[in-house]
Amino acid sequence: MTLYMYIRLSDADKDLKFKTESESIANQRALLHRFVDSHNEFAGYEITEFIDDGYSGTNAARPSFERMIESLKNGDAQIVICKDFSRFFRDYVEIGDYLERIFPFFGVRFISVNDGYDSDEYKGTTAGMEVVMKYIVYSYYSRDLSQKVKTVIKSKVSHGEYIGSFPPYGYKKDPDKKHHLIPDPEAAPVVRHIFDMALAGKTISQIAITLNEEHPETPSAYFHRAFPGCGRFKMTSAENCWNNMNVGEILKRRIYTGALVSQTKVWKGLDNPHTVKKDEADWIIIPHCQDAIVSDDEFEQAQSVVRKVSKYDRSASDYLLRSLLHCGVCGRTLSRNSRAKTIYYMCDKSKHKSDTQCPVGEKFIEKELERVISADLIEKLNLLVDSERRMRETAEKLKGSEENLSQSLSRIERGLKQNAVARVSAYERYSDGQTTRDMFLIERDKLAAEAQQLTDEKPKLEQELMSLSQTQDSELTAMADTARTYLKAEALTNQMMLCFIDRIDVYSGMRLHIHYRFSDELAKVLEIVES
Ligand SMILES: [Zn+2]
């Protein structure tokens, strides 16, 4: 007595965004063996496996499948079992053919484990249509597929597995364990440092100022370096600075306590590609998934800092151009003479040495510097806001194409449903003797080709839709938001300066070279917007 197992990994599996392991060969095999082992009636059967790796169900070339059918014709096996119909058949007409005619003719019992189908239960009946209908319901309605993917994600999440494509800042993917995070030796100390400052009572702005002075990379710059070529954050300059936004973001991430947080957003499905934020109460939080960078207590304490509305407190030591001015010749920080009646800056080197190119004895009046630099910064902020506005207009246009994509997808869904119905009725007409077999076969092939074309189109559109919503999720908006806030503020502050200006070189005669952190970025944005 022989039992055949048919296992197939299809091309479609690879296209799934989250490749479901349950579809892999090993898992299919394990599932089938578990099924056989748990049914005494199969004891004593000799098992032979037939495996097609990577052949699409619609592709005619399934060498192992062909071999198996040939062998069944010779009566080599009594039972065939597979995971589900979609592994086995190219389409429901084929299911009908096999279940109603071919298998009974071969005297083969056919079991599809996940469909709960066992041909023994239908002995003597013509249950082909019933099964066909069930198959249509399961395989042609896209929600089945997305549901499957969602189920896998959910189950991974509930097992405390990290399923994001990229690790969150502060962590990296564990090379030894899939879906597991370990602290990133480079970024984790920065995260810890930020929490330490918050716990020491610093406001978010003060933390940002400190970080900018120490100049560690920002999360987006780090991301650029760690994942070059990745589209994410591509709107953000690698020079982007620490600010209330990215510091606050880090202080708010519960993941640093070792917990995994998920289901924060709901994907509304293909008809509506936007995600919607869920109430925090509905988030799934699973503690102790990876090593903690901060304790739960520390995290809760830090939340009070996040909630505190951080006013740009301008203390006496926090003067407008603090840590920005450098001598254009020697590069030293210009020293500020705050005791003088008119506060001025000068290069210390020139103070002590006269044989230097530095502007010897030149006093740069603070008021003058502030006026010139502020004016320049405001001009740049306006430029940034303006670029963002134009960028947004472009995005609006893209949104149009997003709607087109959604519509195309619905059209495909509808087409597939209609096609499925048409194929069933063609089959019914043939079964009822209203059409000849030849006519039926022609119609079947025509409809099959049409369905194939629609099916081929679908993943491409889904991909486009996905990448489109990703591009729109850019940090340029965040930068422009900051610029807008600054422009509305009563006065500029040192923190605002530090956020946009890297350094200012001062030369004799008060010639200034202002190094903006976003100058490259702006150029790029302008380029994109104008093109
Ligand atoms: Zn100098």
Q: Rounded to the nearest whole angstrom, what is the distance from the C-alpha of residue 368 to the centroid of ligand 1? A: 19
pLDDT at 368: 92
pLDDT-based confidence at residue 374 (cuts at 50, 70, 90): very high
Residue 517's SS3 state is coil
Give me ligand 1 centre to Cα 449, in Å. Answer: 76
Contact 409, 462 (CB under 8 A): yes
Q: How far is the CA of 293 from the centre of ligand 1 (A)?
A: 43
Confidence of residue 286 (pLDDT cuts 50, 70, 90): confident
> How much distance in Å is there from the Cα of 234 to the middle of ligand 1?
37
Q: What is the pLDDT of residue 314?
A: 41
For ligand 1, the distance from its centroid to the CA atom of residue 334, given in whole angstroms, is: 8
What's the gap in Å between 361 CA and the centre of ligand 1?
A: 11
CA of 323 to the centre of ligand 1 (A): 15
**348 Cα: distance to centroid of ligand 1 (angstroms):** 7
- Ligand 1 centroid – CA 330 distance (Å): 4
Q: Check pLDDT > 70 for residue 375.
A: yes
**Strand order, beta sheet including 335-337:** 335-337, 344-346, 364-365
> Cα(208)–Cα(305) distance, rounded to whole angstroms?
13
**Dist. CA 328 → ligand 1 center (Å):** 7
Q: How many Å lie between the centroid of ligand 1 and the Cα of residue 324? A: 14
Of the two residues 241 and 159, the one the predictor is more confident about is 241
CA of 339 to the centre of ligand 1 (A): 21
Task: Give the start-end residues of each E strand in 223-306.
Answer: 260-262, 265-267, 275-277, 284-286
d(CA 331, ligand 1 centre) in Å: 6
Contact in structure between 325 and 331 (CB atoms under 8 Å): no
In this structure, the number of other CB atoms found within 10 A of the CB of residue 171 comes to 24
307: exposed, middle or buried (Cβ count in 10 Å: 0-12, 13-18, 19+)? exposed
pLDDT at 149 over 50: no
| Dist. CA 316 → ligand 1 center (Å) | 26
322-354 burial: b if 16+ Cβ within 10 Å, else e: bebbbbbbeeeebebeeeeeebbbbbebbeeee
pLDDT above 60 for 98: yes
Q: How far is the CA of 512 from the centre of ligand 1 (A)?
A: 14
Lowest-confidence segment of 61-70, 92-101, 206-215, 488-497 by average pLDDT: 92-101
pLDDT, position 125: 58
pLDDT, greater one: 52 or 181: 181
Range with top average pLDDT, 55-69, 341-355, 514-528:
341-355
Burial call 96-105: b when 16+ CB within 10 Å, e when fewer: bebbbebbbe
Name residue 110's beta-bridge partners.
80
Banded pLDDT at 140 (limits 50, 70, 90): very low
User: Who surrounds ion ligand 1 at CB < 5 A?
Assistant: 327, 329-330, 347, 349, 358
Distance 529 CA to ligand 1 centre (A): 40
Lowest mean pLDDT across 222-236, 373-387, 446-460: 222-236
pLDDT digits (tens, 9 = 90+) for 348-358: 776 666 667 88
- The stretches of 219-365 forming alpha helices (DSSP H) are 219-226, 244-252, 296-307, 348-352
Q: Which of 161, 211, 165, 163 is nearest to 191 (CA)?
A: 211
426: left (phi over 0), alpha (psi -120 to 50) or beta: alpha
What pLDDT score does 18 carry? 40
Task: Give the rounded percent of residues in the chain with a pLDDT score beyond 90.
Answer: 13
Instruction: Compute, in angstroms, the gap from residue 495 CA to the centroid of ligand 1.
Output: 25
- 363 residue type, one letter: K
Most confident of 52-66, 138-152, 284-298: 284-298
> What is the CA(402)–ligand 1 centre distance, in A?
55
Q: CB–CB of 156/163 below 8 Å?
A: yes
Residue 239 reports pLDDT greater than 50: no
Ligand 1 centre from 476 Cα, in Å? 36
Q: Residue 231: pLDDT band by 50, 70, 90 thresholds?
A: low
| 505 backbone dihedrals φ, ψ, rounded to 5° | -90, 130
Ligand 1 geometric centre to CA of 332 (Å)? 6
Q: Which residues contact 468 (CB under 8 A, 6 or more apart)?
A: 273, 398, 401, 402, 405
SS3 128: helix
pLDDT higher at 7 or 471: 7
Q: How far is the CA of 341 from the centre of ligand 1 (A)?
A: 23
Q: What mean pLDDT comes out for the span 210-225?
A: 82
Model pLDDT for residues 411-464, shown as the tens digit of each residue: 888 888 888 888 888 888 888 888 888 888 888 888 888 888 888 888 777 777
**Position with higher pLDDT, 163 vs 342:** 342
Euclidean distance between CA atoms 86 and 115, whole angstroms: 10
Q: State in Å: Cα 440 to ligand 1 middle.
A: 90
Q: How far is the CA of 276 from the centre of ligand 1 (A)?
A: 55
Q: Which two tokens stand for residue 296?
A: 């739960």
**Contacts with 249 (C-beta within 8 Å, 6 or more apart), sequence order:** 219
Report the first-to-last Cα separation within the chain, whole angstroms: 70
More confident residue, 462 or 488: 488
Distance in Å, CA 363 to ligand 1 centroid: 12
Look at residue 229 and give its three-state secondary structure: coil
pLDDT given for residue 2 in this prediction? 93
Angle at CA of residue 173, ends 171 and 177, nearest 5°: 130
- The Å distance, Cα 353 to ligand 1 centre, comes to 10
- For the chain, what is the mean pLDDT? 76
74 phi and psi angles, rounded to 5 deg = -80, 0
More confident residue, 318 or 64: 64
pLDDT at 512: 92
Indicate the pLDDT class of residue 504, thresholds 50, 70 and 90.
Answer: very high
Tallying the residues shown for the chain, one arrives at: 531
User: Minimal CA–CA distance to 529: which of 384, 382, 378, 376?
Assistant: 384
Q: Considering only 343-347, 369-373, 455-459, which range has the smallest mean pLDDT?
A: 455-459
Cα-based distances in Å from 190 to 37, 213, 350, 421, 505? 53, 13, 37, 59, 29
Name 504's bridge partners: 325, 514
Give 149 Cα–ligand 1 centroid separation in angstroms. Answer: 62
- pLDDT number for residue 432: 80
| Packing angle, helices 204-214 and 188-199, rounded to 10 | 140
| CA 370 to centroid of ligand 1, rounded, Å | 20
Q: Say which residue the tokens 């056919």 belong to.
A: 110
Where does 62-127 have alpha helices with state H? 63-73, 85-88, 92-96, 103-106
**Residue 469: predicted pLDDT:** 54
Q: How far is the CA of 520 from the centre of ligand 1 (A)?
A: 27
Residue type, 529: V
